Structure 1
Amino acid sequence: MSTTSTPPTPSTHGSEQSVRWHATWAQSLPDVRADGEWFADVTLRSHLRVSAGGDRVRLQFGNRFGDHPLRIGRSAVSTRGRTAAATFDGRDGVTVPVGSSVLTDPIDLPVGHHGAVKVDFHLPERTLFPPLFAGSGDFTCQMSEPGDHVGAAAFPAVTAPPFPMPDDADLTLHESGPFLRTVEVANRVPHAVVVCLGDSITAMGWPEIAAGLLPGGSGLSVVNRGIPGNRLRLDAGPANLSNGRSGLSRFEDDVLKTAGVAQVVVALGTNDLGLPGAFEPLGELPTAAELIAGYETLLERAGTADVRVRIATITARSGSDDYDERREQIRGAVNDWMIRALGPEVVIDFDKALRCDTSPLRLDRRYDSGDHLHPSAAGQEQLARTAVAALLAELP
């Protein structure tokens, strides 16, 4: 496997070189080779809700962690009752090399602010990707029966197995499927893209909720680059590859190479505290100083790229499976450093937004999914409101 990521090459049809494109929906693609399955001649349909609208749209497909070239057959985008085919340099399909990403040609299909979009693409060859789980609401991916069903009015979806969750957990899971990495739009008015770099708390969907709360004329687009199990400092170990490369490792690909990026919200650190001793070696538990150094590195790298950084405090975790006093002391020291050293211009206080007033080391019952770590649906909405308030406060 290639250890570098090739930036996508857009079409160069004359005036296209002067068009400005901005990400309006995104996800991160973790390494799922350890738990993937092989499928052939199937169509995937992703149900998405974008952030900012635009006059035209294009798609980015990625094969960052593949062992084999990825063959994509026909593909299409649907919104507002219209469907348009996607092409690659004028051709119906494309082969994505290992470690690379590709962009479709621009598609003449207007997309509305916070609009619902469907993306279909056919995988004609034997392809490895993770099983698709039943999602919810606007964030689901379906796999078809065998065949090319791109654009089908009645999509012949295969029933997905339920995602195994605790019976008492109020978790909202969003399943957007493999390979589709980014949706971009072209706007007459430029948009500042806010990339949310996070773990499962981010992947669960507060950025998409935040995008819907932003007024259409805000000039902002919010996209989600969260990976469940992701850490700030260290890549996932060999037994947990789907937890992804660390925030530090993927910052270049997932933030700086996002079209139109102007800001990043870093919401990482929870798994740096929680995974060591359970899923990763205990010796990987960081000190407060080591975590702080990780945030400082991201601040420096973003500043060099002229990208504004917002850092979210680490939310309460008392009562969770991996909670102990040592980890709590580290969390408290890191959050204190953020608030004291960085201040409200940089910090978004997710901890304050979700914690219980009378027992501040715990999540408020309204915002607790039941595992005392992940926010409930109401907690996700609270995080979205908190992020939007911070983003809008800086607008002229």
Structure 2
Amino acid sequence: MSGAVRRALRVGLTGVLAVGAALLGPAHVPTATAAGTSDVPAPPARSVVTWAAAADRMGDAGGDRSYRLIVRTTVGGTGLRVRVSNVFGDRPLVIGRAYAGIRESGARLRPGSNQKLAFGGSASVTLAPGEIRYSDPLPGRVAAMSDLGLSLYVREAGGPATGHAMALRTSYATSGDHAAEERDGAYTQRLGSWFYLDAVTVEADRGAGAVVTLGDSITDGWQSTTDKDLRWPDFLARRLHASPESTVRGVANAGISGNQVLADGAAQSALKRLDRDVLSLPGVRTVVLFEGVNDIKAHSGVTAAALTTGYREIIDRSHAAGLCVVGATVLPFKGWSEWDLEEEAVRAEVNEWIRTSGEFDAVADFDEVLRSPYDAQRILPTFDGGDHLHPNDKGMQAMADSVALTALECDRGALGR
């Protein structure tokens, strides 16, 4: 994605769940302390991530606002928790109230579904700069493939917000405290980003696990249709949900636009954010690593040797955490403004290493799936989103359909860690 498009997406803050009426007993979770690279609190035992979005630094925050954030579950279960984040904040964030309900349409929630969340038994929570917290669990069961409306009343905030700029999912905001309301009348502001929320977990059925897709704007879904859940990880989630053999059910999208493996830029590098955005998520068995095109096309002189060294570090750290790693080949991008033959040579060398090095537990050959048979340096036009770098909806589906579901069934013992 171009820098201009990404900056335009970085809007500022001003710019089926059946639950009982009572919460389960309070559960305090340790908190993180250091901004940006803080330790993430340990996830609750037996939890599996059902939704996630990589956190990033957003525009300036403001208080006395309610956010109704729309997210879609992938794996079902009981004991829903949300993970809220002030990782990129430079001052305390006060969430006055938080609720979770089932979305009917727009910002409207299913009547009777909106239930109060608590944090250590308290309705409000204050997050220090760099801090991440899990809510207490809600009773009842949340179904897979459900649209949730997660409402946060931010009582006090300032400085940079923490969130995810390119949601490709419409959420909503309003002034004042409207978190408990199920009707949509107050939520007049439409948002294209998520704020302060970076994960949702459930207590899934025994033996269920999750996969994390670690990537850049292609994984984040740029050029896929907004509000239709047509990113390639969404297609993958639907395949897993429909497969009676698969025990991997959860899909966490850790794509972030502009991301590079080695260098910070539009976001922290994949190496820096790996612990927070991937390894800290509960129930994860496998990582699909699909990064590298932004390193290659940055004209920074990155070599194939440097990039594969970065891959090796991600593989080693993931293996140490008990996860398998599937390596995805880098897509062709001839026709993109930054393409040249020198960068193409690096891409070809990197892809050969991914396919043949044996470093990965499995390979997803997205390059082979999407490239043109008439010019292997280009995306096939039927899969091209129009900028010759990002796939369209058909391309996203083709990528997801090419992933061997058996490759996600990791046996390294990560589940339940």
Q: TM-score, normalised by structure 1?
A: 0.83
1:217-366 aligned within 5 A = 217=244, 218-220=246-248, 221-236=250-265, 243-276=266-299, 284-342=300-358, 345-366=361-382
Equivalence for 1:29? 55
Give the equivalent residue in structure 2 for 1:122: 153
- Matched residue SS, 1:61: strand
Contact kept? 1:121, 1:150, Cα under 8 Å: no
Residues 1:5 and 2:38 aligned together: yes
Matching of residues 106-145 of structure 1 within 5 Å: 106-127=137-158, 128-129=160-161, 139-145=169-175
Please, which of 198, 202, 223 is the counterpart of residue 219 of structure 2? 202
Q: Using a 3 Å threshold, how does the CA distance of structure 1 residues 132 and 142 change in structure 2: closer, same or farther? A: farther
Q: State the 1:246 CA deviation.
A: 0.9
Counterpart residue number, 1:152: 182
2:403 is matched with which residue? Answer: 387
Q: By how many angstroms is 1:260 displaced?
A: 1.2
Task: Answer whether contact 2:384 2:390 (CA < 8 A) is retained.
Answer: yes
Question: Aligned with 1:372: secondary structure?
Answer: coil
Aligned-partner Cα distance in 1 for 2:409–2:321: 23
User: For 1:329 and 1:187, how far apart are their aligned partners in 2?
Assistant: 45
Deviations 1:227-248 (A, max 9, x none): 1000011122xxxxxx211111
% identity of equivalent residues: 30
- Unmatched segments (≥5 aa) in structure 1: 11-16, 162-174, 237-242, 277-283
User: 2:142 aligns to what SS in structure 1?
Assistant: coil
1:48 matched to which residue of 2?
Answer: 71
Distance in 1 of aligned mates of 2:116 and 2:173: 19
Give CA-to-partner distance per residue, 1:347-377, whole Å, 9 cap, x none: 1111112111221111111111111001112
Alignment-mate amino acid for residue 238 of structure 2: G
- One-letter code of the match for 1:91? S
| Conserved 8 A contact 1:96-1:102 | yes
The match for 1:215 among 241, 245, 259 is 241
In the alignment, the residues of structure 1 paired with residue 410 and residue 317 of structure 2 have an alpha-carbon distance, to the nearest angstrom, of: 22
Distance in 2 (CA, whole Å) between partners of 1:248 and 1:22 is 23
| Worse-matched range after superposition: 109-118 or 96-105 | 109-118
Q: Which residue of 1 aligns with 2:206?
A: 189
Q: 1:134 to 1:188 in 2, by over 3 A?
A: closer
Whichever residue aligns with residue 141 of structure 1, its letter is S
SS at match of 1:157: coil
What amino acid maps onto 1:380 in structure 2? M
Amino acid at match of 1:7: V
CA positional deviation for 1:249 = 1.2
- In the alignment of these two chains, the number of paired residues is 357
* 2:129 aligns with one of 84, 98, 111: 98
Q: Is the 8 A contact 1:348 1:390 kept in 2?
A: no
Q: Equivalents in 1 of 2:344, 2:128: separation in Å?
A: 44
Counterparts of 2:167 and 2:52, CA distance in 1: 17
Deviation, structure 1 residue 160 = 4.2
- CA pair 364-142 structure 1, distance change in 2 beyond 3 A: same
User: 2:373 & 2:166 partners in 1: Cα distance?
Assistant: 35
Contact 1:21 1:187 in 2 (8 A): yes
8 Å Cα contact 1:195-1:261 kept in structure 2: yes
Question: Match of 1:31, SS?
Answer: strand
Matched residue SS, 2:195? coil
Measured in 1, the distance between the counterparts of 2:283 and 2:144 equals: 16
- C-alpha change, 1:296 and 1:134, in structure 2 (3 Å) is closer
Residue type of the alignment partner of 2:51:
W
Structure 2 regions of 5+ residues with no counterpart?
Answer: 1-33, 104-109, 222-230, 412-417
The CA distance in 2 between the partners of 1:300 and 1:130, in whole Å, is 28
Residues 39 and 131 (structure 1), Cα distance of their counterparts in 2 relative to 1, 3 Å cut:
farther
Letter in 2 for 1:383: M
- Return the letter of the residue paired with 2:256: I
Could you say if the C-alpha distance between residues 225 and 393 of structure 1 is closer, same or farther in structure 2, counting changes exceeding 3 Å? Answer: closer
Report the equivalent of 1:171.
none
Contact residue 266 and residue 309 of structure 1 kept, 8 A: yes
Indicate conservation of the 8 Å contact 2:172/2:187, yes or no. yes
1:224 Cα deviation after fit:
0.5
- The 1:69–1:158 alpha-carbon spacing in structure 2 relative to 1, beyond 3 Å, is same
1:379 maps to a residue whose letter is: G
Give the match for residue 115 of structure 2: 84
Superposed displacement of residue 394, structure 1: 7.7
With over 3 angstroms needed to count, the CA separation of the structure-2 counterparts of 1:183 and 1:134, relative to structure 1, is closer
Task: Rate the CA distance shift 1:262–1:78 in 2: closer, same or farther, 3 A.
Answer: same
- Aligned partners of 2:297 and 2:339 also within 8 Å: yes
Counterpart Cα distance in 1 of 2:318 and 2:165? 35
TM-score by length of 2: 0.79
The one of 93, 101, 104 equivalent to 1:70 is: 93
C-alpha contact 1:73 1:124 (8 A) present in aligned 2: yes
Post-superposition shift, 1:56?
2.0
